[in-house]
Amino acid sequence: MDEKELHERGLKLRKQIFGGETVEKRMSLAGDFGGPLQKLVNAVAYGDVWSRPGLPLKMRSLAAVAMTAALCRPDELRVHTRGALANGCTPGEIQAILLMVALYAGIPAANDAHRIANEVIQQQGK
C-alpha cells in the first residue's frame, strides 16, 4: 500500500474514532509547520499501526489511554479518552486501566489521569 492510500485510510479511521470536526481542528491548528507531522500521524499511526489486525480498536484505545496517562500527556489523554468511549470502552474499563497506570507509572500520573478522564466522561454524559 502506498503512502497516499495509508494516509487516506488513516484519516478515515482517525475521523471515525475522534470525529471529523476534532480531527480537522487538530490538523488545521498544526498549520503548515505541523502539516508533515499530521501526514505522518494519519499514514503511519492510523493508516498502518491502528489499522492492523490483531487487536480490536477498543483494546488499542485502552492502551493509548494508559500510555498517554503514564507519559503525563494531558491533551492526548483527553483525546484518547474520548476515542476510547467512541470505541466502546466503558468508564469502568477506563478506570481499571488507570488503576494499572497507578501501579506501573506512579500515583501522581494516575491522579492527573483520573481527573482528566473523569472530566471527559462527564462531558460525554457517560
Query: Model confidence at 108, in pLDDT bands (50, 70, 90)?
Result: very high
* pLDDT for residue 83 is more than 80: yes
**Are residues 71 and 24 both part of a single domain?**
no
* pLDDT for residue 74 is more than 80: yes
pLDDT of residue 42: 93
Range of the domain at 63: 56-126
Cα dihedral across residues 16, 123, 28, 50: positive or negative: negative
Tens-digit pLDDT profile for residues 8-19: 999 999 999 999
pLDDT of residue 100: 97
Helix (H, G, I), strand (E, B) or coil at 9: helix
pTM, two decimal places: 0.91
Dihedral class, residue 125 (left if φ above 0, else alpha if ψ from -120 to 50, else beta)? left
Q: Which amino acid does the sequence have at 37? A: L
**Are residues 47 and 64 both part of a single domain?**
no
Report the alpha-carbon distance of residue 84 to residue 125 in Å, rounded. 14
**Are residues 46 and 61 both part of a single domain?**
no
Average pLDDT over residues 23-43: 91
Query: Model confidence at 90, in pLDDT bands (50, 70, 90)?
Result: very high
